[in-house]
Amino acid sequence: MSLTVPTLESLSSIKKFYSFKYMLNSDIHEKIFNKLKLEKVYSDFSNKVDVIDLYPGPAQQSVMFNNKYKPRNHILMESRLVYHRHLINNYQQSPFIIYKKDPYEWSSYTDLIDKEKIITPIKQDRTHVNDSLLLIANLTNPNSEALMMQWLSCVGNGNWLQRFGLVKMLIWLPTSTAIKLLACPTDKSRSKCSLLTEALTDTNLVATMNSKDINLFNKKIIDKCDPILFDSKDVLPDKSCSISLLEVTPKQTTIDFDYWDYVTKHLMILKGTTLRNCVESLGHGARDYFERAIKDQSMLDRCPGELTIEEINYLVDLFYKWPYKPDIYMDFIDIFQDSNS
């Protein structure tokens, strides 16, 4: 039996949004599901797939998703009082498992899986997307950007939910964050998080608000992803910044993430400085070493923000091979000493 899908009008009685935004147009959600083609990855939702749905809020998307796919377990992790009360009042007798824990807290996931064993995901090989576990999240609060960066780092480190393999994530974000994550070489918004996204995932812009912000995406991204567009009137609260939906699919890599993280952190702080003049930030003697080691000398006259992910990975590999590279695990001590000198 399908659940009744709440309408935007019926959800307008909710007055507190905790600085989050929710797209509440059921027709747009249906278009999104059709575009995602999740059944190609998850061939047996009802018997095999666990869905962890974070900050579901009004839960229109959650209801439509459950009606369409009927996953084995569908966890709604929601601790905010207004929304938790809304879920209890409307969906206590439903296929949902309403879990009153804060998605921001690491312990919420260890409690869910390791302690309470509400779901018991199976670890799968990292040669393919885990076809029994899916994450859905709303991180449209402007303060959630740092949490998104942590989740991406977890892909590289293979921890958090990514310890179970390559776990796909469907995440609503402020469009300003989506622009950073999908920025291409030479884009003004190109940053370490752009590199993180490109190096560790295949990320697709699924949907975005039809606003002036769409022009801030690189045209290559818009042409490639062909996102579904929706209007500001489809969002509550409607007087708010633009939001977008990303499909984040972790991919198999051979990256040594600790070294990669160290190199990209230092270079992207100086992303507008030529490589020749900023590479010394990697350690004393780095300029001499890289000037000798880099095959294409013209790269030295380009800035980190202009480099492709392949070129960045090439620099990380050279750093790894550098006999006199600094101990990257002592980097935090250097920062502490510098701040007190």
- Residue numbering of the annotated binding site: 21, 23, 78, 102, 138
DSSP 281: G
Spatial CA neighbour of 306 closest among 259, 250, 268, 280: 268
Please give the C-alpha separations between residue 322 and each of 206, 276, 283, 315, 317, in angstroms, as whole numbers.
41, 16, 11, 11, 9
C-alpha span between 49 and 129 (Å, rounded): 12
The CB density around residue 168, as the number of other CB atoms within 10 Å, is 21
Give the 3-state secondary structure of residue 154: helix
Instruction: Give residues with Cβ within 8 angstroms of 21, minimum separation 6.
Output: 140, 172, 235, 236, 237, 240, 241, 243
Give residue 221's identity as a one-letter amino acid code: I
Residues 231-240: contacts with CB under 8 Å, at least 24 apart: 234/8, 234/23, 234/24, 234/25, 234/28, 235/21, 235/22, 235/23, 235/24, 235/209, 236/8, 236/11, 236/12, 236/14, 236/17, 236/21, 236/22, 236/24, 236/58, 237/17, 237/21, 240/21
Would you call 2 exposed, middle or buried from its count of C-beta atoms within 10 A (0-12, 13-18, 19+)? exposed
What is d(CA 175, CA 182) in angstroms, rounded to the nearest whole number?
A: 10
Binding residues for S-adenosyl-L-methionine: 21, 23, 78, 102, 138
How many Å apart are CA 97 and CA 94, to the nearest integer? 8
Distance CA 269, CA 272 (A): 8
Exposed, middle or buried, 332 (CB in 10 Å: 0-12/13-18/19+)?
A: exposed
